[in-house]
Amino acid sequence: MSDKSETEVRTKKWGVGVELAADHLGPVHFAAIISRGEDLTLGLHVLPKQHLLHPMLTPEEAKEIRKRVERDVADLMHQAGLAGDHARVELGEDDEIEEGLSDLAKRQGLDALLIGRRARHDEDPIVRLGEVARRVLRRLPVPVIVVPPDFGTGPALGLRPGPVIFATDLSEHCEEAANFAKDLSARLKRPLLLAHGTQAFHWGVSYIPEAAMEQLQTQARAGATHKLEQWAKAHGLADARRHVFMGDPVRKVLELAADEDAAMVVSGSRKLGPVERLLLASVSSELAAAASCPVAVVG
């Protein structure tokens, strides 16, 4: 990774999935916050294919529907401050919304796709992500930022004052995610906090002396701290604050984000295949579902 200035911000091309509902505009509000200078922000909306809208729909009626939707998307973007030469609307057609969004993201060469989830920032419902968000994360066509639907709807629901947390397992696939986190830290003018975890010891608790267990945990934490320090230096992030935890990564990162009042969390994807993602919930997806702040998942 090149060791660039923390204040340098490269021009980006963002795509934001726009839902035509007043209570699901979080992604649009967050897109307005992270957009800078010459960035281009595309408001994306996927329409059903014409034969699904109505079997008797004429081409003229279909064209009028597209125009109406395009106006509605543009109006919502304008209300959030996304207008002018650096914002436009792109409509897609697909039987599945997630397929349409993924296709638009790839065809438009987006640097990131912003989407909403079902659960508000303070809710703990059974369905948190929603099917569209979950399926987009399975495909991960480009880096995806999952935003609570109520983000930016009031002073207390805007960008938090804390750091950008980069949750890393120090593996090779984290390099792109590290660059992404560094860029967002500069854009948001928030410090970068590196978070790395190590396994907690659960075996043999009944017969290993407490002092020996404490020593094992101390050694494990020290080893993880050293690895994180070396990794940070190698990736031009030596000045970033570091945090090492033991235990379940989802729970620990969520606790850290709450304690730090984090602006957002960035996580690298585990590169699960389609079948694996159907069977296993990745750490990144669980963070995106439960965090009270936006979460970026980078492949």
- Structural domain boundaries in the chain: 1-158, 159-299
Helix (H) or strand (E) holding 103: helix 97-107
**Confidence (pLDDT) at 216:** 77
With beta carbons less than 8 A apart as the criterion, state whether 163 and 190 touch. yes
Please determine, for residue 2, whether its predicted confidence score (pLDDT) is greater than 50: no
With beta carbons less than 8 A apart as the criterion, state whether 85 and 58 touch. no
**Number of CB atoms found within 10 A of residue 241's CB:** 14
- Indicate the fold that domain 1-158 takes in CATH: Rossmann fold (3.40.50)
Beta strands in 6-162 (DSSP E): 13-17, 40-47, 87-93, 112-116, 144-147
Closest CA to 149 of 180, 179, 169, 121: 121
The tally of CA atoms less than 13 A away on the side-chain side of residue 105 is 24
Predicted confidence band at 173 (pLDDT cuts at 50, 70, 90)? confident
**Bigger pLDDT: 37 vs 270:** 37
**Confidence (pLDDT) at 273:** 56
Instruction: Report the C-alpha gap between 249 and 196 in whole angstroms.
Output: 8
Contacts of 182 (CB under 8 A, 6+ apart): 1, 4, 6, 192, 236, 237
- Indicate the fold that domain 159-299 takes in CATH: Rossmann fold (3.40.50)
Per residue in 62-113, pLDDT (tens digit) is 889 999 999 999 999 999 999 999 999 999 999 999 999 999 999 999 999 9
Per residue in 128-161, pLDDT (tens digit) is 999 999 999 999 999 999 999 999 987 778 999 9
